Amino acid sequence: MMEARATLLFSALLAAVSAQVKFNGESISFMPPWIRTDGTIQVNFHRRQNGQDNCQSQLSNSSVFVQTDSDKTGEDRWCQAEGFTTDTVSHRNHNFSLTDSGCCWVSNINGRRNWNSFAVVDLGIRSDTRSLNKCPVTTTVASLRANQNCFSRLRLLAYDPDGDNVRCRFVTDVGVPLNIQLDENTCELRTTGEMSPGVHVFELVMEDHAKENITLTYTDGTSVVRGPIKSSPLCQLTLQFALEILPSLANCEAGQVQPQFLSKTPSHGDLQQAAVGHAFQLYIQAQALHSNIHEFQISGPVNMTKEFKNDTLGKAEVTLRWTPQPQDLHRHVPLCFTAETAESQSEMRCVIVLVTRTPVKKGIANVECSADRMTVFVDKASMPGIDKNWLKLRDPSCSLTSNDTHIMGTMSFSTCGTNAEDKGDFIIFENEIHSFVLPTEIITRRKQVVIGFSCQFTKSMSISNYYNLPNADYIFTETSFGSFGYTFDIFVDSNFTTKVDPNAYPVEVKLLEMVYMGIQAQSKLPNVTLFVESCRATPDENPQNPLFYDLISNGCLKDETITVHPTDPDSFNFAVQAFRFTGNHEQLYITCSVILCESGNPVSRCARGCLKNPSRRRRRDLGMETNSHPVTQGPLQFVKQDSTAVDDDVFIAQESDTSAVSPDTKARNGGEGGGEGVSTESEGGRTIQEMLSSHVLTGVFACLFIVAVVLLALILRHFVKKTKSDDFNALLG
């Protein structure tokens, strides 16, 4: 009877809003149920419903729901409201269930009109926690948007307070949007192709399963064993939302038109702490250099306020404030947010706010950061009575040490539960030390401890290659690959073992001799592959100089003199015949764009190799490969040759690759293609054709000159003879 009454109550609450609001999705979050003194079980839950227009005006007849956020642009495109319900269940019941359906979804290309909601909560006491099961926590913002050519994934919040495995699946008998794949273990949606423009609706079921077999004991004295995935879930609840696919953007790079969260913003999945009666504050910052962030969309609890502020350089920020009330005690509050522009929306991030009776004690941690690891030192004096034996890192297999004054731990960026997060302007590697209790403990008198620590790096740090620093060291940091680096060296011969002496820079070379170069990747991650996507020669350190010559482009060799020497997967050794640019250019720099990939992945950029006809910009899988990073080597200084050494000064690169020169120059170079930027010349900078043409003209002029001299001599002889004849005749007369 109690289950039936709960279902009817839920239906009544839904009916209060569904008839008026255009349904845009909903989520349900349960508070930890508890057993009352009379043996009945109290169940409390919050429900957030997303709609269009203004939720407050449409919910005016319902005292249960309160609007928490709405569109402030004046267009009333979205709104969200939250309602709270409490009910009691007889001790004879083993579960608590809610079911309902209604109309109407917002207009969508799936053709969905009616929606369905349900939740089932097991009411057994767990043998591992000695308490009733806690359901997964989830929600979404009211209106999700993504640009067609930029959308690749959507991370959903799937947090379980008991640490259980959470799985997601599509609702049975409900159509799945085309070109969408759901990772059931991570609750992440990924695209398998471009989605059609318009609104797509999603109906998912979220379930939790114990990681190991546990016994559930009910108030009527019965019990049952539950375990991993194959057994029945401990809790089931639906999550529904709409996703609008927007027109494509010219640039999909986050932070340009599409907003990107910056380092002050909490990471997705972070657990935040709040206390009853104490003000909780959350700070969010985002940037869109070529657009305007006009607001932040928030899915949060009732009475949370937000203060929006515009900043310079396309930045905007919002400060969220909320003071938990006594009825919020022990609640895990889901809180999601996005940054909004007219053209686009940032990724959705979500955090969980745990409400405790008193503020959680946080220790003072000092952190030392190196290129590949971090060491944390916790001052014992800041936390009297702290005992390292009751503290652990996220991964308990990593141990902590201590001395008289500090508790210490050292870990790499890929171990001990360390998480990496792309913060937009920084990459942050973070972990935490926290207290724990043994499964066999019934009571504890130890204080709860949470000590967070992290290392922060800019996304790229490059030490350029100048005369006094010939061995360039390039260090980059990315979310899935941690910190990694490249060296780009010149070697003395084809063995690629002896590097050119640092004191020899700039490296002197002769035209036509082979230059041996090598790029080496340095990463703490095993099984990575280095891929050289392009190499370009320029007369200075600027790889964007309009005067350039492509050696490698789109992974394809473009110069006919290049030879690639076999080496390890994380290295690339090659040789090229020395050349120089025409004109007054005596130095040469080589800049290569390199990518680090997960080895063995058949669809990574490394595996695709040479692309003679590359398609339009491809979306990059963050876990599969890094961004393309430039590394530079040089300068190569050309040795002045003896004027008699004509053969040493034959092949010289033209002004630029034919793809970047004028039609006249292209015609002079003989058209497009690999190596067509190389031509044949002699000393003085003229081509052999020009020289041959010059010799022919000289011969012609010489012949004409000789003929003219002979003719002139004959004419003079004729006049001399004629003059003598006239004089002789005059004497005779």
The model's confidence at residue 557, banded by pLDDT at 50, 70 and 90, is very high
Q: Over the stretch 85-115, which tens digit does the pLDDT of each residue have?
A: 999 998 788 999 998 888 889 999 988 888 8
**pLDDT confidence of residue 204:** 95
Amino acid identity, position 559: D
CATH fold, domain 464-612+620-685, is: Immunoglobulin-like (2.60.40)
Average pLDDT on 509-518 reads 90
**pLDDT confidence of residue 231:** 79
The model's confidence at residue 208, banded by pLDDT at 50, 70 and 90, is very high
Query: Of all helices (H) and strands (E), which one includes residue 455?
Result: strand 450-458
442 backbone dihedrals φ, ψ, rounded to 5°: -95, -40
The answer to whether the beta carbons of residues 382 and 406 sit under 8 Å apart is no
The model's confidence at residue 672, banded by pLDDT at 50, 70 and 90, is very low
The answer to whether the beta carbons of residues 194 and 170 sit under 8 Å apart is no
The answer to whether the beta carbons of residues 121 and 238 sit under 8 Å apart is no
Q: What is the dihedral of CA 684, 686, 691, 693, to 10 degrees?
A: -150
Percent of the chain clearing pLDDT 70 (strictly above): 74
Average pLDDT on 109-138 reads 92
Residue 205 C-alpha from the chain's centroid = 28
**pLDDT confidence of residue 380:** 78
In this predicted structure, the answer to whether residue 164 has a pLDDT above a threshold of 90 is: yes
Q: Over the stretch 318-328, which tens digit does the pLDDT of each residue have?
A: 999 999 999 99
According to DSSP, the residues that pair with 246 across neighbouring strands are: 147
Instruction: Read off the tokens for 507.
Output: 């490296």
Average pLDDT on 486-506 reads 87
**pLDDT confidence of residue 288:** 94
Percent of the chain clearing pLDDT 90 (strictly above): 39
Residue 386 C-alpha from the chain's centroid = 38
How far apart, in whole angstroms, are the C-alpha atoms of residue 417 and residue 388? 18
Average pLDDT on 516-544 reads 87
Q: CB neighbours (10 Å) of residue 425?
A: 17
**Left, alpha or beta for 296 (phi > 0: left; psi -120 to 50: alpha)?**
beta
**pLDDT confidence of residue 290:** 92
The answer to whether the beta carbons of residues 117 and 23 sit under 8 Å apart is no
How far apart, in whole angstroms, are the C-alpha atoms of residue 733 and residue 729? 6
The answer to whether the beta carbons of residues 294 and 317 sit under 8 Å apart is no
**pLDDT confidence of residue 148:** 94
**CB contact set of 640 (below 8 Å; sequence gap of 6+):** none
**pLDDT confidence of residue 732:** 38
Residue with the bigger pLDDT between 628 and 482: it is 628
**CB contact set of 545 (below 8 Å; sequence gap of 6+):** 538, 539
**pLDDT confidence of residue 610:** 92
Flag the least confident range among 3-17, 470-484, 604-618: 3-17
Q: Over the stretch 350-388, which tens digit does the pLDDT of each residue have?
A: 999 999 888 766 666 788 887 667 888 888 777 766 676
Reduced DSSP (H G I as helix, E B as strand, rest coil) percent helix, strand, coil of the chain, to 5: 15, 40, 45
Residue with the bigger pLDDT between 689 and 185: it is 185
Q: CB neighbours (10 Å) of residue 398?
A: 16
The answer to whether the beta carbons of residues 179 and 148 sit under 8 Å apart is no
How far apart, in whole angstroms, are the C-alpha atoms of residue 331 and residue 134? 10
- DSSP states of 274-340: EETTS-EEEEEEEE-TTS---EEEEE--TT-EEEEEE-STTEEEEEEEE---GGGTT-EEEEEEEEE
Q: pTM of whole model > 0.85? A: no
The answer to whether the beta carbons of residues 552 and 534 sit under 8 Å apart is yes
* C-alpha closest to that of 22 among 143, 139, 122: 143
3-state secondary structure of 328: helix
Q: CB neighbours (10 Å) of residue 375?
A: 15
Q: CB neighbours (10 Å) of residue 194?
A: 14
Instruction: Read off the tokens for 164.
Output: 């259980």
**pLDDT confidence of residue 710:** 66
Q: Please determine, looking at this structure, whether the domain spanning 365-458 carries the CATH number 2.40.50.140.
A: no
Residue with the bigger pLDDT between 356 and 425: it is 356
Residue with the bigger pLDDT between 121 and 395: it is 121
Average pLDDT on 303-327 reads 93
The model's confidence at residue 156, banded by pLDDT at 50, 70 and 90, is very high
Mean pLDDT of the chain: 79
Average pLDDT on 116-123 reads 93
In this predicted structure, the answer to whether residue 20 has a pLDDT above a threshold of 70 is: no
Q: What is the dihedral of CA 398, 402, 408, 410, to 10 degrees?
A: -40
How far apart, in whole angstroms, are the C-alpha atoms of residue 165 and residue 172? 21
**pLDDT confidence of residue 451:** 79
**Residue the block writes with tokens 């948007």:** 145
3-state secondary structure of 710: helix
The answer to whether the beta carbons of residues 338 and 346 sit under 8 Å apart is yes
Give the total residue count for the chain.
Answer: 733
708 backbone dihedrals φ, ψ, rounded to 5°: -65, -40
**pLDDT confidence of residue 362:** 61
**pLDDT confidence of residue 286:** 94
End-to-end CA distance of the chain: 164
**pLDDT confidence of residue 172:** 84
How far apart, in whole angstroms, are the C-alpha atoms of residue 362 and residue 560? 63
The model's confidence at residue 475, banded by pLDDT at 50, 70 and 90, is low
Q: Over the stretch 688-708, which tens digit does the pLDDT of each residue have?
A: 344 444 444 555 555 676 767
